[in-house]
Amino acid sequence: MYDFAPKGDQPKTELYADLAAAAKALVDGERDGIANMANLAALIWQFLPNLNWAGFYRNVEDELVLGPFVGKPACIRIPLGRGVCGTAAASGETQVVPDVHAFPGHIACDADSRSELVVPVLREGKVVAVIDLDSPVADRFDAEDATGIEAIAALVAGSI
Ligand code: SME
């Protein structure tokens, strides 16, 4: 049994340090990428408040394909360059979207989503996946969330 848990009212820097330590412990010694992505999605969901979707899209032959996640069923395939996920994958740059309705081409998988954070996962300079977090709260994600999830992406890039 894994017994990771956020401590409650922690400052974000501590929360992300604990999340990173838990993520490292979860994937250490396991080489199955699907199992690792499934556990990481569950872990992120457990640690971060105010999410309605948390998971992975994988870059499969230059198209994003749905990976393990927590949340409502979602779009399965997203072309590179389309929506928030496709933009992050095509540019290799984190996307922090305070209001998804204002993002041109946003793909609405869950009508509850108001804000979104998408972080590319890079292996040897190539985007192999993105981590996608959606929130029902507008402006839910800030630069600290982006840095925190980027750290997780770097930590697990070799394990997914
Ligand atoms: N909103 C995303 C699509 C994926 S869902 O949010 C799970 C986008 O615009 O890329």
Q: Residue 16 maps to which CATH number?
A: 3.30.450.40
- In this structure, is residue 153 part of a structural domain? yes
CB 55 within 8 A of CB 42: no
- Encoded tokens for 39: 């556990």
Q: How far is the CA of 61 from the centre of ligand 1 (A)?
A: 19
Pocket mutation for ligand 1, best pick of 53, 57, 76, 134 (most atoms within 8 Å of C-beta)? 134
Alpha carbon 108 to chain centroid distance?
A: 16
Assessment of whether the complete model's pTM goes beyond 0.85: yes
Q: Could you tell me which of 53, 44, 52 has the C-alpha nearest to residue 20? A: 44
pLDDT at 95: 98
Q: What is d(CA 86, CA 80) in angstroms, rounded to the nearest whole number?
A: 4
- In this structure, is residue 6 part of a structural domain? no
Question: What range defines the domain where residue 137 resides?
Answer: 12-159
Assign 2 a pLDDT band (cuts: 50, 70, 90). Answer: confident
Q: How many folded domains does the chain comprise?
A: 1
Q: Output the average pLDDT for the chain.
A: 96
Which residues form the pocket of ligand 1, taking CB atoms under 6 Å from any ligand atom?
Answer: 53, 74-75, 78, 83-86, 106-107, 109, 113, 116, 132, 134
Q: How far is the CA of 139 from the centre of ligand 1 (A)?
A: 16
pLDDT at 1 over 80: no
- In this structure, is residue 48 part of a structural domain? yes
- In this structure, is residue 1 part of a structural domain? no
- In this structure, is residue 7 part of a structural domain? no
Per-residue pLDDT tens for 7-58? 888 899 999 999 999 999 999 999 999 999 999 999 999 999 999 999 999 9
- In this structure, is residue 112 part of a structural domain? yes
pLDDT at 84: 98
- In this structure, is residue 4 part of a structural domain? no
Angle CA 156–59–150, to nearest 5: 35
Q: Concatenated DSSP letters for 41-97?
A: HHHHHHHSSS-SEEEEEEE-SSEEEEEEEEES---SEEETTSHHHHHHHHHT--EEE
Q: How far is the CA of 95 from the centre of ligand 1 (A)?
A: 11
- In this structure, is residue 115 part of a structural domain? yes
